[in-house]
Amino acid sequence: MYNVKKITDDLFWVGGNDRRLALFENVYPIPEGISYNSYVLMDEKTVLLDTADSAIMELFTENVKAVLNGRKLDYIIVNHMEPDHSASLMRIAELYPEARIVTSAKAKTMMGQFFDFDMDRVDVVKEGDTLTTGRHTLSFVAAPMVHWPEVIFTFDQTDGTLFSADAFGTFGALNGNLFADEVNFETEWLASARRYYTNIVGKYGPQVQKVLEKAGGLNIRRICPLHGPVWRENIGWFIDRYQHWATCTPEDKGVVIFVGSIYGHTQNAADVLASAIADEGVHNVKVYDVSVTDASYLLAEAFRASHLVFASATYNNEIFTNMEHFLMELKEHAFHSRTVAVMENGTWAPQSGKKIRAMLEEMKDMTVLDQTVTFKSAPKEAQRADILALAKAVADAVKAS
Ligand code: FEO
Protein backbone atom coordinates (compact mmCIF):
# COMPACT_ATOMS: atom_id res chain seq x y z
CA MET A 1 0.00 0.00 0.00
CA TYR A 2 1.46 3.36 -0.98
CA ASN A 3 2.63 5.74 1.74
CA VAL A 4 3.30 9.28 0.56
CA LYS A 5 3.46 12.64 2.36
CA LYS A 6 2.41 16.03 1.05
CA ILE A 7 5.04 18.76 1.48
CA THR A 8 3.39 21.56 -0.53
CA ASP A 9 0.45 21.56 -2.92
CA ASP A 10 2.66 20.17 -5.68
CA LEU A 11 5.58 18.53 -3.87
CA PHE A 12 5.38 15.06 -2.34
CA TRP A 13 7.66 12.74 -0.34
CA VAL A 14 7.65 9.28 -1.96
CA GLY A 15 10.40 7.61 0.10
CA GLY A 16 10.34 4.82 2.66
CA ASN A 17 12.00 3.36 5.73
CA ASP A 18 14.23 0.40 6.49
CA ARG A 19 14.11 -0.73 10.12
CA ARG A 20 15.64 -4.16 9.39
CA LEU A 21 19.05 -3.11 8.10
CA ALA A 22 21.63 -3.72 10.85
CA LEU A 23 24.55 -1.83 9.35
CA PHE A 24 24.22 1.20 7.06
CA GLU A 25 26.86 0.95 4.31
CA ASN A 26 27.60 -2.40 6.01
CA VAL A 27 29.54 -0.41 8.63
CA TYR A 28 27.37 1.79 10.85
CA PRO A 29 24.84 0.34 13.32
CA ILE A 30 21.42 1.91 12.82
CA PRO A 31 19.22 0.63 15.66
CA GLU A 32 16.88 3.51 14.93
CA GLY A 33 16.56 2.54 11.22
CA ILE A 34 17.01 4.77 8.19
CA SER A 35 14.77 6.58 5.74
CA TYR A 36 15.45 6.85 2.02
CA ASN A 37 13.84 10.06 0.86
CA SER A 38 12.68 10.77 -2.65
CA TYR A 39 10.42 13.53 -3.92
CA VAL A 40 7.97 14.11 -6.77
CA LEU A 41 7.22 17.60 -8.09
CA MET A 42 3.87 17.80 -9.90
CA ASP A 43 4.23 20.79 -12.23
CA GLU A 44 3.30 21.14 -15.93
CA LYS A 45 6.17 18.69 -16.26
CA THR A 46 6.54 16.02 -13.59
CA VAL A 47 9.86 15.50 -11.82
CA LEU A 48 11.20 12.72 -9.62
CA LEU A 49 14.13 13.83 -7.45
CA ASP A 50 16.35 10.81 -6.73
CA THR A 51 15.15 7.23 -6.34
CA ALA A 52 15.66 4.84 -3.42
CA ASP A 53 17.49 1.85 -1.98
CA SER A 54 16.63 -1.59 -3.34
CA ALA A 55 15.24 -2.56 0.10
CA ILE A 56 12.19 -0.35 -0.48
CA MET A 57 11.96 -0.54 -4.28
CA GLU A 58 8.44 -2.03 -4.39
CA LEU A 59 6.94 0.54 -2.01
CA PHE A 60 8.90 3.34 -3.66
CA THR A 61 7.61 2.58 -7.17
CA GLU A 62 4.07 2.26 -5.78
CA ASN A 63 4.48 5.70 -4.14
CA VAL A 64 5.67 7.28 -7.39
CA LYS A 65 2.73 5.77 -9.31
CA ALA A 66 0.27 6.97 -6.66
CA VAL A 67 1.47 10.57 -6.82
CA LEU A 68 1.70 10.64 -10.63
CA ASN A 69 -1.84 9.26 -10.71
CA GLY A 70 -1.65 8.24 -14.34
CA ARG A 71 0.50 11.11 -15.58
CA LYS A 72 3.77 10.35 -17.31
CA LEU A 73 7.09 11.13 -15.67
CA ASP A 74 9.02 13.78 -17.57
CA TYR A 75 12.26 14.08 -15.59
CA ILE A 76 14.28 12.03 -13.14
CA ILE A 77 16.86 14.23 -11.41
CA VAL A 78 19.72 12.24 -9.89
CA ASN A 79 21.48 14.32 -7.25
CA HIS A 80 23.54 11.43 -5.88
CA MET A 81 24.50 8.06 -7.36
CA GLU A 82 25.24 6.10 -4.18
CA PRO A 83 23.07 2.95 -4.35
CA ASP A 84 21.01 3.87 -1.26
CA HIS A 85 19.47 6.48 -3.58
CA SER A 86 20.03 5.08 -7.05
CA ALA A 87 19.42 1.33 -6.75
CA SER A 88 15.86 1.82 -8.00
CA LEU A 89 16.88 4.03 -10.92
CA MET A 90 16.95 1.21 -13.46
CA ARG A 91 13.44 0.09 -12.44
CA ILE A 92 12.04 3.61 -12.64
CA ALA A 93 13.80 4.25 -15.96
CA GLU A 94 12.12 1.13 -17.37
CA LEU A 95 8.70 2.02 -15.94
CA TYR A 96 8.87 5.52 -17.42
CA PRO A 97 10.79 5.13 -20.69
CA GLU A 98 10.02 8.70 -21.82
CA ALA A 99 11.57 10.32 -18.76
CA ARG A 100 14.77 12.27 -19.33
CA ILE A 101 17.41 11.66 -16.69
CA VAL A 102 19.09 14.86 -15.49
CA THR A 103 22.36 14.68 -13.59
CA SER A 104 26.02 15.73 -13.39
CA ALA A 105 28.70 14.52 -15.81
CA LYS A 106 30.38 12.40 -13.14
CA ALA A 107 27.04 10.84 -12.17
CA LYS A 108 26.41 9.95 -15.82
CA THR A 109 29.72 8.06 -15.85
CA MET A 110 28.74 6.26 -12.65
CA MET A 111 25.34 5.37 -14.17
CA GLY A 112 27.16 3.58 -16.95
CA GLN A 113 29.22 1.72 -14.36
CA PHE A 114 26.25 0.66 -12.23
CA PHE A 115 23.61 0.07 -14.91
CA ASP A 116 23.02 -0.90 -18.53
CA PHE A 117 20.54 1.51 -19.99
CA ASP A 118 20.44 3.92 -22.88
CA MET A 119 22.76 6.77 -21.95
CA ASP A 120 21.19 8.93 -24.67
CA ARG A 121 18.40 9.49 -22.14
CA VAL A 122 20.78 11.26 -19.79
CA ASP A 123 21.09 15.06 -19.89
CA VAL A 124 24.15 16.45 -18.14
CA VAL A 125 23.81 19.66 -16.14
CA LYS A 126 26.40 21.79 -14.43
CA GLU A 127 26.45 24.48 -11.75
CA GLY A 128 24.08 27.32 -12.61
CA ASP A 129 22.09 25.44 -15.26
CA THR A 130 18.33 25.65 -14.90
CA LEU A 131 15.34 23.50 -15.77
CA THR A 132 11.90 25.10 -16.01
CA THR A 133 9.05 22.69 -15.47
CA GLY A 134 6.14 25.17 -15.68
CA ARG A 135 5.63 27.24 -12.52
CA HIS A 136 8.92 26.01 -11.06
CA THR A 137 12.46 26.81 -12.13
CA LEU A 138 15.05 24.41 -10.79
CA SER A 139 18.73 25.32 -10.68
CA PHE A 140 21.67 23.05 -10.02
CA VAL A 141 24.48 23.52 -7.51
CA ALA A 142 27.69 21.47 -7.64
CA ALA A 143 28.33 19.80 -4.29
CA PRO A 144 31.37 17.56 -4.89
CA MET A 145 32.33 15.23 -2.02
CA VAL A 146 29.10 15.86 -0.15
CA HIS A 147 29.37 12.92 -0.05
CA TRP A 148 30.64 11.56 -3.42
CA PRO A 149 32.31 13.56 -6.22
CA GLU A 150 29.29 13.56 -8.55
CA VAL A 151 26.84 15.12 -6.09
CA ILE A 152 24.66 18.06 -7.08
CA PHE A 153 21.98 19.90 -5.12
CA THR A 154 18.81 20.97 -6.89
CA PHE A 155 17.34 24.30 -5.79
CA ASP A 156 13.74 25.15 -6.59
CA GLN A 157 13.98 28.91 -7.11
CA THR A 158 10.20 29.27 -7.19
CA ASP A 159 9.44 27.83 -3.74
CA GLY A 160 12.88 28.05 -2.10
CA THR A 161 13.23 24.29 -1.69
CA LEU A 162 16.75 22.89 -1.52
CA PHE A 163 17.08 19.21 -2.44
CA SER A 164 20.32 18.71 -0.55
CA ALA A 165 21.32 15.10 -1.30
CA ASP A 166 23.01 13.55 1.77
CA ALA A 167 23.62 16.96 3.38
CA PHE A 168 21.28 17.71 6.29
CA GLY A 169 20.36 14.03 6.48
CA THR A 170 20.22 11.88 9.59
CA PHE A 171 20.12 8.25 10.59
CA GLY A 172 16.70 7.21 11.85
CA ALA A 173 13.52 5.97 10.19
CA LEU A 174 10.68 8.48 9.86
CA ASN A 175 7.80 7.69 12.15
CA GLY A 176 4.85 9.36 10.48
CA ASN A 177 6.03 12.92 11.07
CA LEU A 178 7.95 14.11 8.03
CA PHE A 179 8.97 17.58 9.24
CA ALA A 180 11.73 18.35 11.73
CA ASP A 181 9.43 20.81 13.49
CA GLU A 182 7.00 17.95 14.20
CA VAL A 183 9.53 15.93 16.26
CA ASN A 184 11.76 16.65 19.25
CA PHE A 185 14.73 17.05 16.95
CA GLU A 186 17.25 18.46 19.42
CA THR A 187 16.63 15.81 22.09
CA GLU A 188 15.74 12.79 19.93
CA TRP A 189 17.41 13.30 16.54
CA LEU A 190 20.42 15.58 16.89
CA ALA A 191 22.79 12.83 18.12
CA SER A 192 21.79 10.68 15.11
CA ALA A 193 22.28 13.63 12.77
CA ARG A 194 25.72 14.29 14.24
CA ARG A 195 26.69 10.60 13.99
CA TYR A 196 25.42 10.49 10.41
CA TYR A 197 27.31 13.64 9.39
CA THR A 198 30.58 12.93 11.17
CA ASN A 199 30.87 9.36 9.92
CA ILE A 200 29.48 9.70 6.40
CA VAL A 201 30.54 13.21 5.36
CA GLY A 202 32.83 14.25 8.22
CA LYS A 203 36.04 13.78 6.24
CA TYR A 204 34.95 16.40 3.71
CA GLY A 205 34.54 19.43 5.98
CA PRO A 206 36.18 21.94 3.58
CA GLN A 207 33.92 20.82 0.72
CA VAL A 208 30.86 21.07 2.98
CA GLN A 209 31.93 24.58 4.00
CA LYS A 210 32.13 25.60 0.32
CA VAL A 211 28.63 24.31 -0.33
CA LEU A 212 27.32 26.02 2.83
CA GLU A 213 28.76 29.29 1.52
CA LYS A 214 26.93 28.78 -1.77
CA ALA A 215 23.74 27.87 0.11
CA GLY A 216 24.09 31.11 2.06
CA GLY A 217 23.37 32.96 -1.19
CA LEU A 218 20.11 31.10 -1.77
CA ASN A 219 16.77 32.06 -0.30
CA ILE A 220 16.17 28.66 1.30
CA ARG A 221 12.71 28.14 2.77
CA ARG A 222 12.76 24.37 2.91
CA ILE A 223 15.42 21.62 2.91
CA CYS A 224 14.58 18.19 1.54
CA PRO A 225 17.48 15.82 2.34
CA LEU A 226 17.85 12.20 1.23
CA HIS A 227 17.60 10.85 4.79
CA GLY A 228 15.58 11.97 7.81
CA PRO A 229 13.17 14.83 8.40
CA VAL A 230 12.38 17.70 6.01
CA TRP A 231 13.20 21.20 7.29
CA ARG A 232 10.82 24.15 6.93
CA GLU A 233 11.38 25.97 10.27
CA ASN A 234 14.46 26.94 12.24
CA ILE A 235 16.65 26.06 9.25
CA GLY A 236 19.39 28.43 10.44
CA TRP A 237 19.79 26.43 13.65
CA PHE A 238 20.50 23.22 11.72
CA ILE A 239 22.82 24.98 9.27
CA ASP A 240 24.71 26.28 12.32
CA ARG A 241 25.15 22.67 13.55
CA TYR A 242 26.55 21.83 10.12
CA GLN A 243 28.94 24.76 10.30
CA HIS A 244 30.29 23.39 13.60
CA TRP A 245 30.69 19.88 12.19
CA ALA A 246 32.19 21.01 8.88
CA THR A 247 34.83 23.07 10.69
CA CYS A 248 35.32 20.45 13.45
CA THR A 249 34.41 23.13 16.00
CA PRO A 250 33.23 21.75 19.37
CA GLU A 251 29.54 22.19 20.12
CA ASP A 252 29.92 21.68 23.86
CA LYS A 253 32.54 22.74 26.35
CA GLY A 254 33.21 19.47 28.14
CA VAL A 255 35.31 16.35 28.53
CA VAL A 256 34.93 12.93 26.95
CA ILE A 257 37.18 10.13 28.20
CA PHE A 258 37.73 7.20 25.84
CA VAL A 259 38.97 4.05 27.57
CA GLY A 260 40.64 0.96 26.14
CA SER A 261 40.84 -1.49 29.03
CA ILE A 262 41.52 -5.24 28.99
CA TYR A 263 40.81 -6.38 32.56
CA GLY A 264 39.30 -3.19 34.00
CA HIS A 265 42.34 -1.52 35.59
CA THR A 266 42.59 1.22 32.95
CA GLN A 267 38.83 1.65 33.28
CA ASN A 268 39.31 2.08 37.06
CA ALA A 269 41.91 4.80 36.52
CA ALA A 270 39.68 6.52 33.94
CA ASP A 271 36.75 6.55 36.36
CA VAL A 272 38.94 8.07 39.07
CA LEU A 273 40.06 10.68 36.55
CA ALA A 274 36.44 11.37 35.51
CA SER A 275 35.42 11.87 39.16
CA ALA A 276 38.34 14.20 39.77
CA ILE A 277 37.56 16.27 36.64
CA ALA A 278 33.96 16.53 37.85
CA ASP A 279 35.21 17.59 41.31
CA GLU A 280 37.08 20.39 39.58
CA GLY A 281 33.70 21.74 38.48
CA VAL A 282 33.41 20.38 34.93
CA HIS A 283 29.86 19.28 34.09
CA ASN A 284 28.67 16.52 31.74
CA VAL A 285 31.89 14.49 31.75
CA LYS A 286 31.37 11.35 29.65
CA VAL A 287 33.29 8.05 29.71
CA TYR A 288 33.14 5.50 26.87
CA ASP A 289 34.66 2.02 26.72
CA VAL A 290 35.98 1.79 23.16
CA SER A 291 35.38 -1.96 23.14
CA VAL A 292 31.72 -1.56 24.04
CA THR A 293 30.58 1.51 22.14
CA ASP A 294 30.72 1.36 18.35
CA ALA A 295 33.37 3.65 16.84
CA SER A 296 30.72 5.63 14.92
CA TYR A 297 29.26 6.87 18.22
CA LEU A 298 32.75 7.61 19.59
CA LEU A 299 33.60 9.67 16.50
CA ALA A 300 30.44 11.74 16.87
CA GLU A 301 31.21 12.38 20.53
CA ALA A 302 34.75 13.49 19.67
CA PHE A 303 33.32 16.02 17.19
CA ARG A 304 30.84 17.25 19.83
CA ALA A 305 33.12 17.87 22.80
CA SER A 306 35.92 20.37 23.36
CA HIS A 307 38.34 18.23 25.43
CA LEU A 308 39.21 14.55 25.11
CA VAL A 309 41.18 11.99 27.11
CA PHE A 310 42.55 8.76 25.67
CA ALA A 311 43.23 6.15 28.35
CA SER A 312 44.58 2.92 26.95
CA ALA A 313 46.22 -0.34 27.83
CA THR A 314 49.22 -1.56 25.83
CA TYR A 315 48.51 -4.59 23.65
CA ASN A 316 51.00 -6.45 21.45
CA ASN A 317 53.40 -3.63 22.28
CA GLU A 318 50.98 -1.24 20.58
CA ILE A 319 47.90 0.78 21.50
CA PHE A 320 45.04 -1.48 22.65
CA THR A 321 43.39 -2.73 19.45
CA ASN A 322 40.01 -1.00 19.68
CA MET A 323 41.57 2.29 20.81
CA GLU A 324 43.99 2.15 17.89
CA HIS A 325 41.08 1.55 15.53
CA PHE A 326 39.21 4.54 16.98
CA LEU A 327 42.26 6.79 16.63
CA MET A 328 42.58 5.69 13.00
CA GLU A 329 38.93 6.59 12.47
CA LEU A 330 39.60 10.06 13.88
CA LYS A 331 42.57 10.54 11.56
CA GLU A 332 40.76 9.21 8.51
CA HIS A 333 37.86 11.59 9.18
CA ALA A 334 40.31 14.53 9.20
CA PHE A 335 39.54 15.21 12.88
CA HIS A 336 41.43 18.24 14.22
CA SER A 337 41.75 21.10 16.67
CA ARG A 338 41.17 19.67 20.14
CA THR A 339 42.95 19.72 23.49
CA VAL A 340 43.58 16.17 24.66
CA ALA A 341 45.23 14.23 27.47
CA VAL A 342 46.69 10.73 27.57
CA MET A 343 46.77 7.97 30.18
CA GLU A 344 48.60 4.67 29.60
CA ASN A 345 48.87 1.23 31.12
CA GLY A 346 51.17 -1.71 30.42
CA THR A 347 52.21 -4.57 32.67
CA TRP A 348 55.81 -4.86 31.54
CA ALA A 349 56.38 -2.14 28.91
CA PRO A 350 53.77 0.64 28.73
CA GLN A 351 53.88 1.88 25.11
CA SER A 352 50.37 3.09 24.42
CA GLY A 353 50.90 6.70 25.59
CA LYS A 354 53.84 7.31 23.31
CA LYS A 355 52.04 5.71 20.38
CA ILE A 356 48.79 7.59 21.02
CA ARG A 357 50.75 10.85 21.03
CA ALA A 358 52.35 9.89 17.72
CA MET A 359 48.93 9.24 16.17
CA LEU A 360 47.56 12.53 17.55
CA GLU A 361 50.52 14.36 16.01
CA GLU A 362 49.30 13.20 12.60
CA MET A 363 46.10 15.20 13.14
CA LYS A 364 46.03 18.96 12.59
CA ASP A 365 46.14 21.46 15.48
CA MET A 366 45.92 18.99 18.34
CA THR A 367 47.15 20.25 21.73
CA VAL A 368 48.31 17.34 23.88
CA LEU A 369 48.71 18.17 27.57
CA ASP A 370 52.23 17.49 28.84
CA GLN A 371 51.22 15.21 31.69
CA THR A 372 50.81 11.54 30.84
CA VAL A 373 49.72 9.29 33.68
CA THR A 374 51.54 5.97 33.39
CA PHE A 375 50.84 2.94 35.50
CA LYS A 376 51.81 -0.70 35.36
CA SER A 377 49.04 -3.28 35.57
CA ALA A 378 46.80 -1.47 38.07
CA PRO A 379 46.67 2.09 39.42
CA LYS A 380 48.06 2.29 42.95
CA GLU A 381 47.21 4.73 45.71
CA ALA A 382 50.62 6.38 45.28
CA GLN A 383 49.51 7.44 41.81
CA ARG A 384 46.32 9.17 42.90
CA ALA A 385 48.22 12.47 43.02
CA ASP A 386 49.25 12.02 39.37
CA ILE A 387 45.66 11.36 38.34
CA LEU A 388 44.40 14.37 40.33
CA ALA A 389 47.07 16.55 38.73
CA LEU A 390 45.99 15.40 35.27
CA ALA A 391 42.35 16.07 36.19
CA LYS A 392 43.24 19.61 37.26
CA ALA A 393 45.17 20.20 34.03
CA VAL A 394 42.22 18.99 31.94
CA ALA A 395 39.70 21.04 33.98
CA ASP A 396 41.89 24.15 33.76
CA ALA A 397 42.10 23.74 30.00
CA VAL A 398 38.29 23.44 29.78
CA LYS A 399 37.80 26.56 31.91
CA ALA A 400 40.34 28.51 29.86
CA SER A 401 38.69 27.60 26.53
FE1 FEO B 1 22.75 8.44 1.44
FE2 FEO B 1 25.87 9.04 0.11
O3 FEO B 1 24.22 8.19 0.26
Per residue in 208-237, pLDDT (tens digit) is 899 988 888 889 999 999 999 999 999 999
SS3 305: strand
Both 178 and 286 in a single domain?
no
Task: Give this prediction's pTM.
Answer: 0.96
Q: Which domain holds residue 43?
A: 5-246
Protein residue with its CA nearest to atom 1 in ligand 1: 166
Both 163 and 36 in a single domain?
yes
Q: Separation of 83 CA from ligand 1 center, angstroms? A: 8
Both 279 and 239 in a single domain?
no
Q: Separation of 147 CA from ligand 1 center, angstroms? A: 7
Task: Give the residue among 305, 302, 371 at the shortest CA–CA distance from 331.
Answer: 302
Q: What count of residues does the chain have? A: 401
**From first to last of its 401 residues, what are the pLDDT tens digits of the chain?**
999 999 999 999 999 999 999 999 999 999 999 999 999 999 999 999 999 999 999 999 999 999 999 999 999 999 999 999 999 999 999 999 999 999 999 999 999 999 988 899 999 999 999 999 999 999 999 999 998 999 999 999 999 999 999 999 999 999 999 999 999 999 999 999 999 999 999 889 899 899 988 888 889 999 999 999 999 999 999 999 999 999 999 999 999 999 999 999 999 999 999 999 999 999 999 999 999 999 999 999 999 999 999 999 999 999 999 999 999 999 999 999 999 999 999 999 999 999 999 999 999 999 999 999 999 999 999 999 999 999 999 999 999 99
Both 198 and 61 in a single domain?
yes
* Number of domains forming the structure of the chain: 2
Both 315 and 219 in a single domain?
no
- Which CATH number goes with the domain that contains 376? 3.40.50.360
Does some domain include residue 290? yes
Q: Separation of 249 CA from ligand 1 center, angstroms? A: 24
Pocket of ligand 1 (CB under 6 A): 80, 82, 84-85, 147-148, 166, 226-227
What average pLDDT does the structure give for the chain? 97
Return the ligand 1 atom nearest residue 165 CA: 1
Q: Separation of 236 CA from ligand 1 center, angstroms? A: 23
Return the ligand 1 atom nearest residue 151 CA: 2
Given CA atoms 93, 97, 100, 104 in this order, what sign does their dihedral have? positive
CA distances from 134 to 10, 156, 163, 290 (A): 12, 12, 18, 54
Q: What is the pLDDT of residues 325-339, one digit of tens each?
A: 999 999 999 999 999
Contact predicate 193/244, CB 8 Å: no
- Which CATH number goes with the domain that contains 109? 3.60.15.10
Protein residue with its CA nearest to atom 3 in ligand 1: 82
- Final residue of a domain: which of 246, 261, 291? 246
Q: Separation of 82 CA from ligand 1 center, angstroms? A: 5
Q: Separation of 107 CA from ligand 1 center, angstroms? A: 13
Does some domain include residue 57? yes
Both 116 and 193 in a single domain?
yes
Both 286 and 369 in a single domain?
yes
Both 16 and 118 in a single domain?
yes
Does some domain include residue 236? yes
Does some domain include residue 360? yes
